[in-house]
Amino acid sequence: MNVLILGGGGREHALAMALAKSPSLSRLFVAPGNPGCAALAENVALPIDDHAAIVDFCRAREIGLVVVGPEAPLVAGVVDDLAAAGILCFGPSKAAARLEGSKGFAKDFCREFGIPTGDYRRLADAASALAYVRAKGAPIVVKADGLAAGKGVVVAMTLDEAEQAIQSMFAGAFGGAGAQLVVEDYLDGEELSFFALCDGTRAVAFAGAQDHKRVGDGDAGPNTGGMGAYSPAPIVTPAVHARIMAQVIEPTLRGLASDGIPYTGFLYAGLMIAPDGTPNVLEFNCRFGDPETQPIMMRLRSDLTPLCEAALDGKLDACDAVWDSRAALGVVMAAGGYPETYRKGERISGLDVAARLPGKVFHAGTQLVGSDILTSGGRVLCAVGLGMDVRAAQRQAYDLVGAIHWNLVQYRRDIGYRAIERET
């Protein structure tokens, strides 16, 4: 079978690694891909916002399955357009992808179906938003309603921070994504990324992971798309796992199905696990996360292709996923200045050295120019190590990081600290 992956980041490199292992695979394409994907698949210069071009490519190359990496094509309805052309596409419909496309929709959905989440208010103008946060006080969380590449959230620890975030978002900091805001209560606890594979009515839990959103060590600085992650997440005890499935994943599938929009694909619940174990929903994503996908796919031992096909066929009841018992930890190497203004075009050295070390380096914001690999984005690489525990995986990941360099490279030096504290 010929398979097409849409996307060009670290998540798509990791998905390519997993899908390339399938004995049912004939040819693997990634659009647009990156230099890391090119070692596993054929990169194609296909604009992923041009659904007609994607349909034409799939017909010409006899694509049997399309796997969508990023959220924007899903929210724009690429699954619906491919389905109308008779092409199998793994991911939720445009209607179901509103869970990620609108944070306000997701919060209203949680309220309607009794899914635990923080109290909130949807606000459409700065005056109302400012009045609301002044009445509520800080800490408080300010979110752009639409897609903002993982950066449209400000956890404001002071009232001044909240007011600045509101003014900035309504002034266009995130374009149309900030035309409306969601302001919600600050929740205490520990964050968790929980993934499930869904076929419309059933869900198979994938490995959990914990991401590090803030740019600096000790969770300092602004939010980013993610600076590193590890899997499994020690906070997911059997009891916590059962509560997440019963209180979040299953009622989400039932609620969407009852609204006539069954959910098929990866469902990513960003959760705050309260001290009493309650899994409060912070956000939903309608696809795999980045950088969580990289360590999770390093641990996946099952063939990903038949799992995707079973979800599309509504037959997940006969499937399960098998995992490497070892821990995996990924460290994101970013361009200097990220998540604000950063430079592109810096030459990356040491990738050949890293390739001889244990673990795996996933490409994200890179480009091949002549014989050189150059930086081309904010998050450039993700170095992933495996180990018997998180500390061992961390050592392997940072050995990879130490082998690689470019001008003004930045990365956190404490990825995995929560899990290591538990281990010690």
Identify which of 51, 52, 153, 139 has the alpha carbon closest to the alpha carbon of residue 100: 153
Instruction: Give the mean pLDDT of 95-99.
Output: 96
DSSP state of 328: E
- Kindly state the tokens that stand for 407: 């001008």
Identify which of 138, 193, 190 has the alpha carbon closest to the alpha carbon of residue 161: 138
Instruction: Give the mean pLDDT of 235-252.
Output: 95
- Cβ neighbours for 258, distance < 8 A, ≥ 6 positions apart: none
Least confident segment among 101-105, 145-149, 169-173, 269-273: 145-149
Instruction: Give the mean pLDDT of 308-335.
Output: 93
pLDDT reported for residue 398: 98
Radius of gyration of the chain, Cα coordinates, nearest whole angstrom: 20
pLDDT at 212 > cutoff 80: yes
Instruction: Give the mean pLDDT of 271-276.
Output: 94
Instruction: Give the mean pLDDT of 100-112.
Output: 96
Residue-wise pLDDT for 355-392, tens only, equals 999 999 999 999 999 999 999 999 999 999 999 999 99
Residue-wise pLDDT for 138-195, tens only, equals 999 999 999 887 678 899 999 999 999 999 999 988 888 889 999 999 999 999 999 9
pLDDT reported for residue 15: 97
Asked whether 208 and 192 are in contact (CB, 8 A), the reply is: yes
- Kindly state the tokens that stand for 405: 């360099």
Burial state string for 91-126 with b = 16 or more CB within 10 A and e = fewer than 16: bbbbbbbbbbbbbbbbbebbeeeebbbbebbbbeee
Instruction: Give the mean pLDDT of 110-124.
Output: 96
Q: What is the pairing mode between strands 379-387 and 327-334?
A: antiparallel
Instruction: Give the mean pLDDT of 320-345.
Output: 95
Burial state string for 325-355 with b = 16 or more CB within 10 A and e = fewer than 16: ebbbbbbbbbbeebbeebeeebebeebeebe
Asked whether 154 and 133 are in contact (CB, 8 A), the reply is: no
Mean pLDDT, the chain, integer: 95
pLDDT reported for residue 9: 96
Secondary structure class of 400 (helix, strand, coil) = helix
Residue-wise pLDDT for 217-243, tens only, equals 999 998 888 999 999 998 999 999 999
Identify which of 30, 41, 40, 39 has the alpha carbon closest to the alpha carbon of residue 8: 30
Residues 172, 164: Cα–Cα separation, whole Å:
13
Q: Domains, the chain, ranges and CATH?
A: 2-94 (3.40.50.20), 119-185 (3.30.1490.20), 190-318 (3.30.470.20), 327-423 (3.90.600.10)
Instruction: Give the mean pLDDT of 304-322.
Output: 90
pLDDT reported for residue 139: 96
Secondary structure class of 331 (helix, strand, coil) = strand
Instruction: Give me the percent of the chain exceeding a pLDDT of 90.
Output: 91
Residue-wise pLDDT for 390-416, tens only, equals 999 999 999 999 999 999 999 999 999
- State the virtual CA torsion across 38, 41, 42, 48 in degrees, nearest 10: -90
Instruction: Give the mean pLDDT of 16-37.
Output: 97
Residue 97 confidence class, pLDDT cut points 50, 70, 90: very high
CB atoms within 10 A of CB 322: 9
Residues 5, 41: Cα–Cα separation, whole Å:
10
CB atoms within 10 A of CB 220: 9
